[in-house]
Structure formats: C-alpha cells, structure tokens
Amino acid sequence: MTGVLLVTHEGVAEALCRQVEIILDQLPPITTVSISAEADIETARNTLREAMAAARDEQGLVVLTDLPGATPHNLAACAAAEANDRLVSGLSLPMLLKVLSHLDQPPDQLARLASEGGYQGIIQA
C-alpha cells in the first residue's frame, strides 16, 4: 500500500477528510498536516518531515497539497524532493477519492491517478 499525506492550509485537509468519511462511510488511512499563516517555517518543516516518515507505507508515499506555490506546497515540495516522494498539487475531493480508491498502486502510478482524478472532477457546463 502507498501512504497518503495531505499538506494544506489550516482546515482544508480536515474538511476533505470529513467529507471522505461521509462518502465512504469510513476514513481510510490518511495523514494530514495543516500549516497556518502564522506558522514558524522551521517548526512546520520539522512537523512535515515527521509526518512524511509516519505516513510512508510499504510502497512509499504520495503527498497532496492544496495550492501550488503557497507555503504548504512549497514546504512539502522541498521535503518530498529530499525523500524522493511523489507530490501532486491542486488537491480536491475528486482527486482525493480517486487516490483512496487505488492505494494498492505504487507512488508513481498513484500520483498519475491523483492528477487524473483532479482533472476528471472539473466540469464546465
């Protein structure tokens, strides 16, 4: 199984996890790190590294962040690169549900499915 870590602005990961639990009637194994606007960068970086180590599973880890270029993403991108983990940004509920439906996939494949799930969740009417 591949581990999943959500790194988001404060409250985003928690809200998505609540919805996942409602939709799936359970909460699959997800680790979350919320980074507030007032967070000390070094403390947040250390917390993030610890969470990554805890979330990494037999096959590895996929890190999902909410907003490309924002502090949670930037910190996660650096930490993921150091650990050779996969990172996908633009987290949405469709993306997360797609990932959770395929936790048996290796990190490279799961990252691709995350992007696919996010893209498939965009509908223009």
Domains of the chain: which residue ranges? 2-120
Q: Write the pLDDT tens digit of every residue in 43-66.
A: 999 999 999 999 999 899 999 999
Q: Which pLDDT tens digit goes with each residue over 63-89?
A: 999 999 999 999 999 999 999 999 999
Distance CA 7, CA 68 (A): 11
CATH of domain 2-120: 3.40.50.510
Alpha-carbon gap, residue 81 to 59, rounded angstroms = 16
pLDDT of residue 58: 87
pTM attached to this predicted model: 0.95
Query: Is residue 62 a contact partner of residue 3, using CB atoms and an 8 Å limit?
Result: yes
